[in-house]
Structure 1
Amino acid sequence: MVLAVIDGDTMDVDLGGRRATVRFIGIDTPEKTGGYLPAECGGDAATLRTAELLPPGTEVHLQRDQELYDRYDRLLAYVYRAADGLFVNRYLVLDGYAGTMHFEPNTQHRAVLDTAEAAARAAGRGIWVDCGGPNQRLEGAS
């Protein structure tokens, strides 16, 4: 169950009474304002959209890949909303809130995510039209 969205590609969940931070595999959303890194174009929108998709209390299914944790001790997962099966990682890319970011060996859904990114670019959705792509620092962001 979702406890809180941290940013566009990270959330806290309850795993059987234990709080765990989950990093969505295969995607990267821009950095939000007020985070640890300088804010990027589209970061606040991505965080808001993820929070709309996964409000606290939302039941999710987490699918792992080859590695269970990243170097920051975050659980790595493909995230599916339990109520309707929405593949959240794919949706965020397809709707232009995220770009793909693949790290071997965690590439089980690489083709699906790459296809979603190509569709978002072609349609001019989100960060592709608003920002010129991912990782574009906001003016004046430090």
Structure 2
Amino acid sequence: MISRNPLIPCLLLVLICLVVPVKAAETGRLHSVIDGDSLEVVIEGKVVEVRLIGIDAPEWGQEYGLAAKSFVLHFCLGKELKLEYDKDRRDRYRRSLAYVYVGGKMLNEAIVREGLALAFAYKPNTRHQARLFQAQADARDAEQGFWQQGGLELTPSQWRKKNRR
């Protein structure tokens, strides 16, 4: 006898969602670099725009903007990229939000450690925030990148507000 209880399909859907794992990480290759905290990655034949979690890099046209973009290009070019996701997988612009790794090195951390991006907490994606803030403190202490001059004249956020299109 077939049950006509409307809750059965709902319960089955819930069980399937609990059993089928959500991808916590994906791999891909660099397609292009937008700026120091955004890039395009080819994943399973599709180009996906990725925003690096936990950092804010200088914008195109801002001091150190070209250096940040160049760092990302050299870090990722020709290498397999592993994308690790946090709680929110997309931002309001529909970009994928990820920590990007080459080998065992995290791009998000590396660009901050070079003094080419600021650590910035974007809740709820804060899994590696302590690590990123430590990298920033280390870069400041070592006077890496823009820390040689005491920091940026304007934070990337301030620069964006001042230079709206």
Q: Which of the five TM-score ranges fits, normalised by the shorter chain?
A: 0.7 to 0.9
Equivalent residue number for residue 74 of structure 2: 52
TM-score (norm 2): 0.73
What's the CA shift for 1:26? 0.3
- Quote the Cα distance in structure 2 between the aligned partners of 1:130 and 1:45: 15
Aligned residue pairs total 130
| 2:123 counterpart of 1:104 | yes
Percent of pairs with identical residues: 39
Change (3 A) 1:41 1:130: farther
Q: What runs of 5+ residues in structure 2 fail to find an aligned partner?
A: 1-28
8 Å Cα contact 1:26/1:103 also seen in 2: yes
Equivalent residue number for residue 89 of structure 2: 68
* Post-superposition CA distance 1:82-112 (Å, at most 9, x none): xx32111101001101111111100000100
- Quote the Cα distance in structure 2 between the aligned partners of 1:58 and 1:5: 14
1 or 2 for the larger relative contact order (CA 8 Å, sep ≥6)?
Answer: 1
What's the CA shift for 1:132? 2.4
- Quote the Cα distance in structure 2 between the aligned partners of 1:92 and 1:71: 24
CA RMSD in angstroms, aligned pairs only: 1.7
Structure with the greater alpha carbon radius of gyration: 2
1:4 is matched by which residue type in structure 2? S
